Amino acid sequence: MSTNLLGFDLDALAAFCERLGEKRFRATQLYRWIHQRGATDFAQMTDLAKSLRDKLSGCAHIQALPVVSTQRSADGTVKWLFDVGDGNLIESVFIPETDRGTLCVSSQAGCAVGCRFCSTGHQGFSRNLDTAEILAQLWFAEHTLRRELGRSERVITNVVMMGMGEPLQNYAQLVPALKVMLDDHAYGLSRRRVTVSTSGVVPMMDRLSQDCPVALAVSLHAPNDPLRDHLVPLNRKYPIDELLDACTRYQEFAPRDFITFEYCMLDGVNDQPEHARELIALMKRHGAQGLQAKFNLIPFNPFEASGLKRSPQPQVQAFAALLMEAGLVTTVRKTRGDDIDAACGQLAGDVKDRTGVQERIASQRLGMLGQIPVVSVPAGQV
């Protein structure tokens, strides 16, 4: 059986090469060809011995995912829809900004957490992506964009695990993919430039802090347990205090000196002044334990089945103002790629549902899209 080398971090590739009777440095050369040069053909890899190239051709391949569609927004945002088999489609979005290029990557087809405001959550869980499928999104986007833009240097400077799925419910496949993103022989992204976004899988946050402490974003969305239980059902298992304690523990290992909290603004549900006040009290309490927070208010991207509405802009600004007055660093996320449905909550994916009926479902959101900083208060002054 032929192995897709996109699924290996350097250690795994070295082990694979050793099984072929090769030394570790050969694996490093091969790895650089794959990730830094985007090679798919072993014959291109002229600094590898012909005997090794022949061996590799017989037992391995380098293969990205079939692309179902590519959409480009007037603002430069690009959205790819990939086929991961059995009727499941996933998406990745590239968001260019003047000083960086961010790729938003999916970790699962569907999601088991079932958040009320998330269309991926509404469609249920189909399956985990494997490491090769997670990395294929980055590999394909980076090398396609380089070719298109005629650039030889890196185009993608940041990765956010904010596509479809809950990355920390796919931990075993996620961590090797993160390692490849960070590896200097592959994408060489710093830990600050790779962000895992989670709805709060507490034990896995602790493991990530030991195994691969990249930047962390936590989807909070509510200032108290009853409301969060309703919006993010995983809260019943890992309630807010436990989650924020885990954030404080994570911070010790994190590449940034704060944790980002995402808060999706839902009209009349979690966006009232009393919610802001409750949130401030909560963060003060945890701030005293050492937690340093940065808030990212996300405009909700509505979809029919949610029965929820986007908070009007003045409500969002009023909420942001209350947090800022209390000294909480707060940004309001600007959506990008609206014209190609690539903004938060607008990604469309076909994911086979659990009854096997394939449905077109408005899936979701995206990224650390262009954020408009609305304040610059030193982090942690809660």
Residue number of the CB closest to ligand SF4 reads 121
Among residues 64, 59, 56, 1, the alpha carbon closest in space to that of 29 is found at: 56
Q: Are 278 and 224 in contact (CB under 8 A)?
A: yes
Q: Is 183 in the site for ligand SF4 (CB under 6 A)?
A: no
Q: What are the residues facing 371 on neighbouring strands?
A: 333
Supply φ then ψ for residue 250, to 5 degrees. Answer: -65, -40
Complex with ligand SAH: residue 48 or 347, whichever CB lies closer: 347
3-state secondary structure of 189: coil
Q: Least distance from C-beta 133 to ligand SAH, angstroms?
A: 16
Q: Is 137 in the site for ligand SF4 (CB under 6 A)?
A: no
Q: Is 364 in the site for ligand SAH (CB under 6 A)?
A: yes
Q: What are the residues facing 17 on neighbouring strands?
A: none
| Burial (CB count <10 Å: 0-12, 13-18, 19+), residue 72 | middle
Binding span for ligand SF4 by CB under 6 A among 42-50, 71-79, 109-117, 308-316:
109-117
> Is residue 153 flagged as an active site residue?
no
Site for ligand SAH in 116-155 (CB under 6 A): 117-118
Residue 115: DSSP 8-state: -
Catalytic residue from among 22, 91, 133, 262: 91
Query: With CB cut-offs between 5 and 8 Å by kind, which of ligand SF4, ligand SAH, none does residue 101 bind?
Result: none
Complex with ligand SF4: residue 146 or 207, whichever CB lies closer: 207
Q: Is 365 in the site for ligand SAH (CB under 6 A)?
A: yes
C-alpha of 255 from chain center: 16
Site for ligand SF4 in 140-179 (CB under 6 A): 165-166
Q: Which residue has the tokens 């091969």?
A: 30
Residue number of the CB closest to ligand SAH reads 345
> Is residue 91 flagged as an active site residue?
yes
In Å, what is the CA distance from 173 to each residue of 80, 89, 197, 320, 336? 21, 18, 15, 36, 29
CB count within 10 Å of CB 205 equals 21
Q: Which residues are catalytic?
A: 91, 344
Chain residues that interact with ligand SAH, rule: CB under 6 A: 117-118, 162, 166, 197-199, 219, 262, 264, 298, 300-301, 344-345, 364-365
Chain residues that interact with ligand SF4, rule: CB under 6 A: 111, 113-115, 118, 120-121, 165-166, 199, 219
